[in-house]
């Protein structure tokens, strides 16, 4: 049976959960996730689990946060004076917004706190600091 190696293009179904059992993402009901193994297109901890798999193989992969989205960086949080945020912008905690960095890059942020005087925004990935668990099934692949 042929096994996946670095450089192959794979298609797999997955369900990603947190240690609490909460599902944060899944390909269920969608096309399989397609990527090239070893290309850096997905998180490293999942990418390195794919070589050696054959079509139809299923496995559970534990990915520590260091091999996923990294630790949450406290420097990625910023308090903005509420007066600098236009009234039409929602500031409820949990709201996803976009900011423009000084270099013009668009940065996704999440409102984590809002008071009468300031709004705290977090630019960390929503899964930063989390260990992840993936149940995966290799659907097909094309050898490099």
- Segment 37-83, tens digit of pLDDT: 999 999 999 999 999 999 999 999 999 999 999 999 999 999 999 99
82 three-class SS: helix
pLDDT at position 6, please?
A: 95
* Mean pLDDT along residues 81-107: 92
pLDDT higher than threshold 90 for residue 101 = no
pLDDT higher than threshold 80 for residue 1 = no
* Mean pLDDT along residues 13-24: 97
45 three-class SS: helix
What is the DSSP code string of 87-139? Answer: TTS---TT-EEEEE-TTS-EEEEEEEEE-SSEEEEE-S-TTTT--EEEEEEEE
pLDDT at position 100, please?
A: 86
* Mean pLDDT along residues 123-137: 96
Average pLDDT, the chain: 95
Instruction: Give the separation between CA 97 and CA 12, rounded to whole angstroms.
Output: 31
- What are phi and psi for residue 135, nearest 5 degrees? -100, 120
């Amino acid at each position: 049976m042929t096994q996946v190696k670095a450089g192959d293009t794979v298609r797999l179904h997955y369900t990603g959960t947190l240690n609490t059992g909460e599902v944060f993402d899944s390909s269920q009901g969608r096309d399989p996730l397609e990527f090239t193994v070893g290309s850096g297109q997905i998180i490293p901890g999942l990418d390195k689990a794919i070589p050696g798999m054959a079509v139809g193989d299923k496995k559970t992969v534990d990915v520590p946060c260091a091999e996923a989205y990294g630790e949450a960086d406290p420097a990625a949080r910023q308090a903005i004076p509420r007066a600098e945020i236009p009234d039409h912008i929602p500031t409820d905690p949990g709201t996803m917004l976009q900011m423009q960095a000084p270099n013009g890059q668009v940065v996704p942020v999440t409102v984590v706190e809002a008071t009468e005087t300031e709004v705290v925004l977090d630019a960390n990935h929503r899964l930063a600091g989390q260990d992840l668990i993936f149940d995966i099934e290799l659907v097909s692949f094309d050898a490099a």
